[in-house]
Each structure stands twice: as structure tokens, then as C-alpha cells.
Chains A and B, each alone.
Chain A
Amino acid sequence: MGRITLDKVTKSFGEVQVIPPLDLTIDDGEFVVFVGPSGCGKSTLLRLIAGLEDITSGQIRIDREDATHVPPAKRGLAMVFQSYALYPHMSVRKNIAFPLKMAKMDAAERDKRVDYAASVLNLTDYLDRRPGQLSGGQRQRVAIGRAIVREPAAFLFDEPLSNLDAALRVNMRLEISELHNTLKTTMVYVTHDQVEAMTMADKIVVLHAGRIEQVGSPLELYHTPRNTFVAGFIGSPKMNLIEGPEAAKHAAHTIGIRPEHLDTSAEAGTWEGRVGVSEHLGSDTFFHVHDTGLAETLTVRASGEVALRHGDRIFLTPQMDKLHRFDAEGLRIA
């Protein structure tokens, strides 16, 4: 079981309150991703759950038991750190076995569990090496192995992929998702990368300045962002947010339209503009449109290759059913 409940949790460093009162429930077996810009308190929140930081007020419950003052080791959670935090003087086998050794498990059982974890993570051939002799992805797997053997109630990942190169990151993303499907254990994952969040999560928690902006499934956040912050943060490229008279026409303070929901035409449309920089990705083309009479530069996503050059004239039309409307506080108008 791994149900984690945060009840009016706050955290202050001295005078500064980094987490204002916050409620959150993480259900058993869920893959929850905390996402937000750097400095939004997502890592702090994870460390509060882990017990590496003490909460200032409120309560943390793990499986309905009050864990607020339980030391980290007794919470039954395992953590994978950004720097992997492997023990450099121990072999891979000893690294993975370390938590079991600390739990005073007997050697035979220990070896069995380490061998199992190594086979799950394709580390069997590397068990006698030191962490210094492994590649980044292998180190990452050792760190995950060290977490698995404890059979924790939940895994906590603190930006585990940020030290890997782009190709490896995509692989490890799949491996971690696969692992979640195999183990069916609760996982809490912190990242600043919204692509990781969208692809891996059952539930995304968007954080901003210590506050939860929205909780929901990836598609919920994509289709119905609760406010302009979530609207701008989720989705790549960013949603176009337009203020002023154009928004007033739709009885809103701000309107948002995603780049993929703008239709292009050479003859007629709502907004006329000039094409700026185009980014060709092969499957898609992103281009930036200037001089539409709006204050903002619009980003447009067209699928496939588009024969538009810098300086060409273009007409854009938003798909009206995909238009998001926000009020003066930035909240969504239903």
C-alpha cells in the first residue's frame, strides 16, 4: 500500500514561507508528477514527503498513519536522487544491498533480492563494478535498483533524468514507466520538464510558488487548464495567450489558443500577419507570426512540411471550439 495524504502542510525557511498550506492526496499505485518552473517548491515538497525536511505545520499521513514525525527510514519510502547519490567506494552489488544490510536482512535473502533487482534493470553484468565505471544511464538504474530492493510503499524521484542526454532520457522515461506498470507501486516524480510530466503521469500536480495550481490527468490539464499559468506551462510549444480588445470580443480578459489549433490560409482568416522564424522538425513545423495587429507574437504548429518562407504573408483562424477564455484573475471561464 502506498497512499500518501498531505493535510494543510506548510514549510518555512526562517521567515520565508516556501509552501503555503497545501492539501494533496496521492492514491495507491498512482504515478504522480510534480511539475513547475524551477524554484516553485516541488523538490522541497518531495523532501517533506521523504522526511528529509521537517514540515513547519500540518500533517503527512502514509497509509492513514500519521508520519509527520516519523524519521525518513521508517516511512517505507525510497528515493532516487538527481545526482543518483551512489556510494562511490562500494560495488554495484553492495550499493543495491546497502538498505537491506541496514535492515539487518540475512545474506542469502539479500543476494536473492539484489539478483532479482539486477535482472529487472539489466544490471547483472555490472554487479561487481564500481559506480565510477558506469555510464550515466547505468548509474541511474543502480539508483533505482537500490530503491526497488526495499520494496517500499512508494518511490520518490527527484528530477532523476536531468543529468542524462536527450536520447537516454527518452529511454529511461520508458523504462521508468514500464517499471511502474510491473511493480504497480505508488511513484512520486519531480520534474521541470512538462514533456516528462505529460508522458509519464497518471496525475500531474502543477506547482507555482509553492501553491498547487491544478491537479489532474495530463489530458485534463491540456484540454481544460484552470488558469493562465497552467495554460502557458502545459503544452509545447506554449499556448498563445492574447489580451486586450481581441479578448474582449470573446467576453474575456485573456484568450488562449494552442499553436496546433490555429488554421492557416493564404487568402483569408481572422488575423493577417507576416511569417517570422520557422522551426522544421520534419513531422511538424512551428512558425512565429508577427504584425497581426495583436501585441503578442503568435506561434503556429502545422503538421508536415509547410512551404512558407520568412516574410511571407499568412492568414490565421483559431478553431473556435478549442479557444480558452480566462477572466481578469487569470481563472478559466467555463
Chain B
Amino acid sequence: MATQHSRAAARFMISPSVLLLLGWMLIPLGMTIYFSLLRYNLLMPGEHPFVGWENYSYFLSDPAFKIALVNTLLLVGGVLIITVIGGVLLGLLLDQVMWGQGIVRILVIAPFFVMPTVSALVWKNMFMNPVNGLFAYLAKFLGLQPIDFLAQAPLMSIIGIVSWQWLPFATLILLTAMQSLDQEQLEAAEMDGAGPFSRFFYIVVPHLSRAVTVVILIQTIFLLSVFAEILVTTNGGPGNASTNLTYLVYAESLLRFDVGTGSAGGVVAIVLANIVAIFLMRMIGKNLDA
């Protein structure tokens, strides 16, 4: 009836917000690409000559780039493995009926509400500090040499901190998925002679596959851009041991004041994130089809 007409009207009416969002996205992206083609250093005022791909070749040939790339993948992969496995186990635990269930669940979710900078500072100063940290006390109590986590295993420490932040998210999604499993299926499997482990691997795990896919996709988006935790704890160091791509871009543009190379790094990061996204969708996206 009036669908044709109302569709046109609807398009007209949503156009301002679409244009705004488009501008919101396209202008910064366009400027980043534009800056990435200029020699533009804030320490050298004056002309900003067009230099073509020079910034890109400089950024990509920087030995720090390869390290940052590997660190980024290790960080994302490590946190994903820890949160998914830990989330499933915690979910199984929290799915049990117990006294004080509600409070325990809220406590488990709590780390997710702590700001990244705050949680990183807490971990750095109260847990991992080699003199005053809780882990140092523990080591001394056991008669061991305290470990300076952030100096000796910087990337692992950051993976630990970030995992702690994201574990609640994974637990929450996986717990709700577990609760949606039909109990009669588990009872049927029990009647069919499946023990607890068989029930877990044949019934629960397949049921969780979709939730795990959601967790992996969402977390990857956020984990590719981890920044605050690195800035507050290690500053990307020692050397480049805990520098990821996001931090490298920051270092180029704001520590070395090189806007051109920083922008080039940003564009490279966008391309890499998209490559990772395509691979992920190829690998696990089919789980999302009903």
C-alpha cells in the first residue's frame, strides 16, 4: 500500500543521522590517510611536504613493528585462551546451586566494572610490585626470591591483567548459555550411559559453541586495541617487550611527535585488524548461523 512511499520517507528521515555517522567515521579516516602521506613532525615546524609511501616504508621496516605485531597477536591469543577456558570452568562452578549464589555471581562480575587504568595500577602496585606487592610477600613467606613480574615477564604480566578484566565477561556469557541448556538433554545423556566428562564434551561443549564464538569475536575487537594497561604498567618496555601495535602508534605520534608515521601506523593497524576479523569470521562465523 503505502510501503513504497513510507520507505522513501523513512530513508529521508534517517539520512541526517546516517550522514553524521558517516562523517564521524570518514573524516578522521580520511585525515589519517592524508597525514600518513605527509612528512609531518611537530618538532619541525614549517612545510608538510607530500612524501608518498615513505612513512609506511619507515613504519613497516622499523624493527619495533615486527615485535609489536607479534606482541599484539600473543596478547589477543593469550587472553582469548585464558578467558574462554577459564570462563567455561567458572561458568560450570557458578551454575551449581550453592548458598550465597547471588553475591558470589556479582563478585565474579565485579572486575569488569573496574576501569582498565585502575585495575592495571592495582595489579602493578599491590600485587606485582617486587618489594611491596602481595606476590612478593607470598614469595618471601615461602622463602623464595620475589619476581619482578613487569620487568622479567612484561607481556605475560599484561596478559594476566587483561585476562583478569575480561574473564567476567566470558564467564557471564558462557554461564547464561549453560543455563539455557535443556536439562532433559543432560538427563537423556545420563540415561544413555554418558558419564560426567562425556556429558560435558558431547552435550555441554557443543551447546556452548555459539556463545564461545560471540565471546571470541567481541573480545578480539577490544583486545586488538589494549592500551591503558600497557601505558600504566610497562610503558611498552623493557625495550619493546610489551609494545603492541596500538602502543607503537602512540609512541610514534605522541612520544616522537611524528604525526606522519603515527598515521601510517594507524592505517596499518586498521588493515591488520580487518585481516584478523576476516580470518575469525571464516573460522568460526558459521557457528552464528542458526
Contact = CB atoms under 8 A, between A and B. Distances in A.
Interface of A: 50, 52, 71-73, 77-79, 81-83, 85-90, 98-99, 102-103, 146, 150
Given A72-B191, A82-B184, A102-B194, 9 more contacts: A73-B194, A79-B188, A83-B182, A85-B188, A86-B188, A89-B209, A98-B202, A102-B189, A102-B193
Contact of A72 (B184, B185, B190): B190
A52 B190 contact: yes
Interface residues of B, number: 17
Contacts of B188: 79, 81, 85-87, 146
Contact of B184 (A71, A81, A102): A81
A81 B192 contact: no
B192 A52 contact: no
Contacts of A103: 193
Interface of B: 182, 184-185, 187-194, 198, 202-203, 206-207, 209
B191 A87 contact: no
B284 to A, nearest CB: 15
Contact of B192 (A71, A82, A88, A98): A98
Contacts of A52: 187, 190-191
Given A81-B184, A82-B184, A102 B191 contact: no
Given A82-B184, A85-B184, A50 B202 contact: no
A146 B193 CA distance: 12
Given A85-B182, A98-B202, A146 B187 contact: no
Nearest to A143: B188
Most buried by B among A50, A79, A85, A90: A85
A73 B192 contact: yes
A85 B206 contact: no
A89 B189 CA distance: 14
B188 to A, nearest CB: 4
A73 B187 CA distance: 10
B191 A50 contact: yes
A72 B186 CA distance: 12
Which among B182, B193, B198 has the highest number of chain A CB atoms within 10 Å? B193
